[in-house]
């Protein structure tokens, strides 16, 4: 079985990594955790970064089968719908996106959100398997950061972990999003991700380390087990929960959380236009906690 060909793309404005994962035998591919550009001060969304992914796909003669999301991101705007319009493919996410949609439908008072995940083309169940060309992909439900997070394990040699875990010198995702759970995250990492083969490569969705020599996007299960400061071998669940929760209590909300979630729970589609033909994003006032994501509504 051929190994996947993996291309990474770094969106510097949001510290996000997007990936093209291709089958070398069939030239079919998936795009994972794509991003759009957003000028907050001007309310302008553009696609310069996404267009670099399109250029790569076309240059390498690939056919897009899947546009995959590891979860509904709160720190960047998904380019899945834009890429689908340009390249085709099906937009997929974990089936627990329903829970996230239902929560934020109420939070933003959005009448057009289904709450049943039908904005997406496919909702993956835990343990479900599918193909990218001849590549085999297994879906692991890895909640904690959000209730809908999934990890995509490709050919049992590469895993795309979303925001569950970061590089070995940094730690893990935060757990203070609505219905997040530090206990669930610990179990997702220790009982699922870190039980994969030691040399299996883990592909990050972000690298936030400001003093790193450059953006880092790949590590191994073994490196995480040995060096991750929060979940290394020997760390108990109670120890992790105590440290993770204390960190989360003082973290600021992500810069793009309020605009991004409105689009990402729509599978990357923009809100419907108002009567004047203009699309709007809502900014709810005085509902995020002062120092973290505790919601007051």
Give the ranges where the chain is alpha helix by DSSP (H). 48-59, 80-87, 97-108, 182-191, 221-227, 237-248, 257-264
Q: What angle do CA 254, 139, 26 make, to 5 degrees?
A: 105
Give the predicted TM-score (pTM) of the model: 0.95
Please give the average pLDDT of every successive group of 10 residues along the chain, which has 297 residues: 93 95 98 97 96 98 98 97 98 98 95 97 98 98 97 98 95 94 98 98 87 83 98 98 95 91 98 96 81 48
Residue 290 forms part of a structural domain: no
220: CATH: 3.60.15.10
Residue 199 forms part of a structural domain: yes
The reported pLDDT for the residue numbered 1 is: 72
Residue 297 forms part of a structural domain: no
Token pair 């997040």 is found at: 180
pLDDT digits (tens, 9 = 90+) for 7-42: 999 999 999 999 999 999 999 999 999 999 999 999
Residue 294 forms part of a structural domain: no
Residue 287 forms part of a structural domain: no
The reported pLDDT for the residue numbered 253 is: 87
pLDDT digits (tens, 9 = 90+) for 112-144: 999 999 999 999 999 999 999 999 999 999 999
The reported pLDDT for the residue numbered 297 is: 37
| Cα–Cα dist 98/115, whole Å | 5
The reported pLDDT for the residue numbered 296 is: 43
| Cα–Cα dist 90/200, whole Å | 27
Residue 90 forms part of a structural domain: yes
Bridge partners of residue 91, in order along the sequence: 67
- The domain tally of the chain equals 1
Residue 269 forms part of a structural domain: no
Residue 284 forms part of a structural domain: no
Domain of 55, in residue numbers: 5-264
């Amino acid at each position: 079985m051929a190994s996947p060909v993996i291309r990474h793309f770094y969106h510097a404005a949001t510290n996000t990594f997007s990936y093209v994962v291709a089958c070398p035998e069939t030239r079919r591919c998936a795009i994972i955790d794509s991003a759009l550009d957003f000028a907050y001060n001007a309310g302008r969304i553009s696609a310069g970064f996404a267009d670099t992914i399109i250029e790569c796909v076309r240059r390498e003669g690939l056919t897009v089968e899947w546009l995959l999301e590891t979860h509904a991101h709160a720190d960047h705007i998904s380019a899945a719908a834009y890429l689908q319009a340009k390249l085709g493919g099906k937009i997929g996410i974990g089936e627990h996106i329903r829970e996230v949609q239902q929560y934020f439908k109420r939070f933003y008072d959005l009448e057009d959100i289904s709450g049943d995940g039908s904005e997406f083309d496919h909702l993956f169940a835990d343990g479900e398997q599918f193909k990218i060309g001849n590549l085999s992909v297994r879906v692991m439900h890895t909640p904690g950061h959000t209730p809908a997070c999934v990890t995509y394990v490709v050919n049992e040699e590469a895993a795309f972990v979303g925001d569950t875990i970061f590089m070995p010198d940094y730690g893990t995702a935060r757990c203070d999003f609505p219905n997040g759970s530090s206990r669930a995250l610990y179990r997702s990492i220790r009982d699922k991700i870190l039980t994969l083969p030691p040399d299996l490569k883990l592909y990050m969705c972000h690298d936030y380390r400001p003093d790193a020599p450059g953006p880092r996007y790949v590590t191994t299960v073994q490196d995480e087990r040995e060096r991750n400061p929060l979940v290394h071998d020997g760390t108990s669940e109670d120890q992790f929960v105590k440290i993770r929760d204390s960190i989360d209590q003082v973290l600021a909300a992500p810069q793009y959380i309020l605009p991004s979630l409105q689009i990402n729970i729509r599978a990357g589609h923009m809100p419907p236009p108002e009567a004047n033909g203009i699309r709007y994003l809502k900014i709810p006032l005085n509902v995020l906690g002062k120092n973290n994501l505790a919601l007051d509504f």
